[in-house]
């Protein structure tokens, strides 16, 4: 699919990658991991073609397409959301425009009849290409992707530039997904997605027919999507088969082996140097000394990645609150004409660990502000329990920090006098050491700002924490440390997070917010998802029950004469039903055979494709232009054939699913 041939890349005196050779095959789903600043985004840019390596080449097959989603810097035009997303299928749009033009020409009396055969032939070709690319289902695909990413139906008609930055990223992602490029490069695609949208994207990418490479700080997302982890470290790329959880175990084992090998190497070097120093000036040992010196010069030092710095902290102890922590009675909230929360009652008890879930814009942050007392409800009341001490971490807490202050002064400004001596220790625990404490807040990264905002919370002990997206911009290691600190916290916790792993590990109660309601579910997020699924299934069953009851009542009122005909009618119905089942079974078996045959064809064509790509990746492949062009054409034909087969396979699968439903 894509081949990195001896690429190197650096900035100034710092080298990110050195003589790296690596390959990504068709249909692979790879997670790119590594410490901040290792070069993950730079590598994606080089693969996308927006940045060149210093040396080496990035080799892509002819006809392949690459879609790249950056972390930021997106700009959209004045198009509607639907029109903006459709740009991901520009070829289809051009075909549709050409077909309309041909239709107009064919219906134009001024066009000579002699031109009609040529126009009809071209129209047939364009229509065939349009059908092959599933052009007639384009609008349906656009709607499916937009709904999956959290857009309401009416949002499709809005101008794309009127949406916030987070929704702009969703529009860009939808555009890429619709285009279905041969290689999908995603840099933190879940940053602005709620749990519902993340779950949808997980499923979509897990079934994506082409290659995917992504960077994400969401380990649950990585576990659900990728089949290989590629780590960027020590100026090279190292592959680990499996998902992120497998990678963690394998990485730790590899590092242990490296450290042991490094230790043995250093011991051996020490022994050799000791021998040299001891016998350097003895003529009888001169040959041995020279031999060992030559051996030392040939030793390549084993490089071991430096130990990763990790935040270590715990929330300070505080006196316990009463059993009832916060009570909302008849609370509601309306902004302009939008009723975000209708009147509802809510009791928060001591020791609860509650996750607020729901789509973006559903009212989670509003409910959090009501609970924190940052906003008053329009109706109803908020009551605090006995000895309540609250720490509220707002969604934009990191951006609220004064950019002109230094890191050290930021903590001093809000600290009680008795906490000032401990400020340097707290900053050190959050990886702000030496000259870092004198940096201006304005030059800090998003992750550094978030760490500083969390560190500020430690200056004031609290028995109740209200956290709105505390993991934003935190890497996986920092998120894990925050998770451990919160799990050890013995007070009351209410939080919003779009990190599934974070929610799964921490929450013991779920409040679902949406459509003006706040519904409480006891148990974990996994149990909440199961409960919601069961509720939907129960609702479907309940809608059919009255029909069955009505039929029974009618049957009970049937006349005696009709009852005599029941056995014969029943036998006829059973026979017809049995025949229908047999026909359905035969149809299912036939469809299964077709699916199996198509899958075998796809496997055969992909094997041939991989064989071709191995040949095409050779450095001297293009020395013989004639044979190279032949293989490139064969590669392109295979790609098209696989695409058609995948479309047929998807159609059959969708048909099977609809029949089962």
Residue 570 has a pLDDT of 56
Complete edge-to-edge strand list for the sheet that includes strand 2-11 = 14-24, 2-11, 55-59
* pLDDT of amino acid 291: 87
Q: What is the pLDDT of residue 204?
A: 93
Is 66 in contact with 47 (CB distance < 8 Å)? yes
123 touches 102 (CB < 8 A)? yes
Tell me the percentage of the chain whose pLDDT exceeds 70: 88
pLDDT of amino acid 581: 65
Residue given tokens 């879609």 in the structure block: 67
Q: What is the pLDDT of residues 64-93, one digit of tens each?
A: 899 999 876 566 667 899 988 988 888 888
Distance from the first to the final alpha carbon of the chain: 37
Element (H, E) at 631: helix 625-660
pLDDT at 90: 83
Q: What is the pLDDT of residue 562?
A: 43
**Can you give the pLDDT at residue 610?**
82
Query: What does the pLDDT read at residue 375?
Result: 93
User: Encoding tokens for residue 497?
Assistant: 């997070």
Ramachandran angles phi, psi of 184, nearest 5°: -110, 115
Predicted confidence at residue 428, as pLDDT, reads: 78
For residue range 143-159, list pLDDT tens digits in order. Answer: 999 999 989 888 999 88
Q: For residues 15 and 235, what is the distance between their CA atoms, to the nearest angstrom?
A: 7
Band of pLDDT at residue 310, cut at 50, 70 and 90: low
Look-up: residue for tokens 């692979």? Answer: 28
At 239 the pLDDT is 93
Secondary element (H or E) of residue 530:
helix 525-556
Residue partners of 482: CB distance under 8 A and separation at least 6: 311, 454, 470, 471, 474
Bridging pattern class, strands 324-335 and 390-393: unpaired
d(CA 577, CA 614) in angstroms, rounded, equals: 55
**Per-residue pLDDT for 432 more than 70?**
yes
89 by DSSP, 3-state: which? helix
Predicted confidence at residue 465, as pLDDT, reads 96
Radius of gyration (Cα) for the chain, nearest Å? 32
Among 511, 510, 445, which Cα is nearest to 478's?
A: 445
Say whether 645 sits in a helix, a strand or coil.
helix
pLDDT in tens, 158-196: 888 888 777 888 998 999 999 889 999 999 898 778 888
What local confidence, expressed as pLDDT, does residue 563 receive?
43
Residue bearing the bigger pLDDT, 565 or 24: 24
Burial class (CB in 10 A: 0-12, 13-18, 19+), 567: exposed
Phi and psi for 252 in degrees, rounded to 5? -60, -40
Q: Which SS3 state, helix, strand or coil, does residue 245 take?
A: helix
- Give 543's DSSP letter: H
The answer to whether residues 191 and 165 touch, using CB atoms and an 8 Å cutoff, is no
Q: Average of pLDDT values for 207-231?
A: 92
Tokens of 570: 């029943």
The two counts, helices (H) then strands (E), for the chain are 19, 18
Per-residue confidence (pLDDT) for residue 377, from 0 to 100: 94
pLDDT of residue 246: 92
pLDDT value of residue 556:
40
- In angstroms, the CA 9 to CA 18 distance is 7
pLDDT for position 344:
93
Reported as a single tens digit per residue, the pLDDT across 385-429 is 988 999 999 988 888 889 999 998 998 887 877 777 778 878 877
Residue 160 backbone dihedrals phi, psi, to 5 degrees: -65, -30
Query: What is the model's pTM?
Result: 0.68
Cα–Cα distances in angstroms (integers) from residue 648 to residues 65, 451, 589, in the given order: 21, 50, 17
- Give the pLDDT of residue 658: 53
Q: Are 334 and 508 in contact (CB under 8 A)?
A: no
Q: In terms of Cα–Cα distance, which of 543, 490, 494, 483 is closest to 520?
A: 494
Query: What is the residue-wise DSSP string for 252-302?
Result: HHHHHHHHHHHHHHHHHHHHHHHHHHHHTT-GGGHHHHHHHHHHHHH--PP
Q: Are 343 and 370 in contact (CB under 8 A)?
A: no
Q: For 336-469, where are the E strands, in sequence order?
A: 338-349, 353-357, 379-384, 390-393, 464-468
CA distances for 602 relative to 1, 641, 644, angstroms: 16, 9, 10
Q: Give the number of C-alpha atoms closer than 13 A to the C-alpha of residue 601, restricted to the C-beta side.
A: 17
pLDDT at 649 over 60: yes
pLDDT attached to residue 567: 53
More confident residue, 444 or 29: 29
Write the pLDDT tens digit of every residue in 256-305. 888 899 999 999 999 988 988 888 888 788 888 888 888 888 888 888 87
347 to 159, 321, 326, 327, 520: CA distances (angstroms):
41, 14, 6, 5, 10
SS3 state at 330: strand
Q: Read off the tokens for 610.
A: 């991989």
**Exposed, middle or buried by CB within 10 Å (0-12, 13-18, 19+), for 216?**
buried
Q: Over the stretch 372-397, which tens digit does the pLDDT of each residue have?
A: 999 999 999 999 998 899 999 998 88
In this predicted structure, the answer to whether residue 27 has a pLDDT above a threshold of 80 is yes
Displacement of CA 347 from its chain's centroid (Å): 34
Contacts of residue 355, defined as CB under 8 A and 6 or more positions apart, other chains included, come to 495, 496, 497, 503, 506, 507, 509, 510, 511, 525
Residues 534-587 pLDDT 10s: 766 666 555 444 333 333 333 343 334 444 444 555 555 666 666 666 666 777
């Amino acid at each position: 699919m894509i081949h990195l041939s001896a690429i190197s890349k650096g900035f100034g005196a710092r080298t990110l990658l050195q003589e790296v050779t690596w390959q990504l095959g068709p249909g692979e789903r790879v997670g790119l991991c590594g410490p901040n600043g290792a070069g993950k985004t730079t590598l994606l840019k080089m693969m996308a073609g927006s940045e060149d390596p210093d040396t080496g080449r990035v080799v892509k097959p002819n006809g392949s397409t690459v879609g790249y989603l950056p972390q930021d810097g997106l700009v959209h035009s004045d198009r509607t959301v639907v029109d903006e997303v459709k740009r991901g299928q520009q070829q289809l749009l051009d075909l549709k425009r050409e077909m309309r033009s041909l239709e107009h020409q064919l219906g134009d009396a001024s066009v000579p009849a002699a031109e009609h055969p040529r126009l009809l032939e071209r129209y047939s070709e364009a229509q065939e290409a349009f059908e092959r690319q599933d052009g007639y289902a384009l609008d349906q695909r656009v709607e499916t992707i937009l709904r999956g990413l959290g857009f309401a139906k009416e949002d499709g008609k809005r101008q794309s530039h009127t949406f916030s930055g987070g929704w702009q990223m969703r529009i860009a992602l939808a555009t890429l997904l619709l285009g279905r490029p041969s290689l999908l490069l995603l840099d933190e695609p879940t940053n602005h997605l709620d749990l519902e949208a993340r779950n949808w994207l997980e499923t979509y990418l897990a079934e994506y027919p082409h290659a995917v490479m992504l960077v994400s700080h969401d380990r649950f997302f990585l576990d659900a999507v990728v089949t290989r982890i590629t780590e960027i470290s020590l100026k090279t790329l190292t592959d680990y088969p499996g998902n992120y959880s497998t990678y963690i175990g394998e990485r730790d084992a590899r590092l242990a082996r490296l450290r042991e090998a490094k230790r043995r190497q250093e011991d051996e070097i020490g022994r050799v140097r000791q021998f040299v120093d001891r016998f350097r000036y003895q003529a009888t040992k001169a040959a041995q000394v020279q031999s060992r010196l030559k051996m030392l010069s040939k030793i390549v030092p084993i490089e071991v990645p430096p130990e990763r710095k990790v935040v270590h902290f715990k929330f300070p102890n505080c006196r316990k609150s009463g059993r009832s922590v916060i009570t909302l009675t008849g609370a509601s909230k309306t902004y302009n004409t939008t009723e975000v929360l209708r009147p509802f009652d809510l009791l928060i008890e001591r020791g609860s660990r509650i996750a607020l879930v729901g789509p973006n814009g559903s009212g989670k942050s509003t409910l959090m502000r009501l609970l924190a007392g940052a906003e008053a409800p329009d109706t109803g009341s908020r009551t605090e329990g006995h000895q309540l001490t609250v720490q509220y971490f707002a969604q934009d807490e990191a951006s609220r920090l004064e950019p002109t202050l230094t890191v050290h002064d930021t903590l001093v400004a809000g600290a009680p006098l008795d906490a000032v001596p401990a400020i340097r220790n707290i900053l050190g625990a959050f990886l702000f050491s030496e000259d870092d404490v004198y940096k201006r807040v304005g030059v800090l990264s998003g992750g550094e700002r978030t760490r500083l905002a969390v560190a500020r919370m430690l200056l004031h002990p609290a028995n109740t924490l209200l956290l709105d997206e505390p993991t934003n911009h935190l890497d996986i290691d920092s998120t894990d440390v925050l998770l451990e600190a919160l799990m050890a916290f013995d007070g009351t916790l209410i939080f919003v997070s779009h990190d599934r792993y974070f929610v799964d590990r921490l929450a013991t109660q779920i409040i679902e917010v949406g459509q003006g309601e706040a519904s409480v579910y006891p148990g974990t997020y996994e149990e909440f998802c199961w409960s919601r699924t069961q509720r939907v299934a129960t609702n479907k069953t309940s809608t059919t029950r009255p029909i069955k009851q009505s039929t029974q009542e009618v049957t009970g009122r049937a006349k005696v004469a009709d009852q005599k005909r029941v056995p014969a009618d029943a036998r006829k119905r059973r026979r017809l039903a049995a025949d229908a089942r047999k026909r359905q079974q035969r149809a299912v078996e036939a469809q299964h055979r077709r699916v199996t045959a198509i899958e075998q064809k796809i496997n055969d064509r992909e094997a041939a494709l991989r064989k071709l790509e191995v040949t095409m990746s050779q450095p001297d492949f293009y020395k013989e232009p004639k044979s190279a062009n032949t293989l490139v054409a064969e590669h392109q034909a295979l790609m098209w054939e696989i695409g058609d087969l995948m479309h047929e396979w998807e159609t059959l699968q969708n048909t099977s699913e609809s029949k089962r439903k």
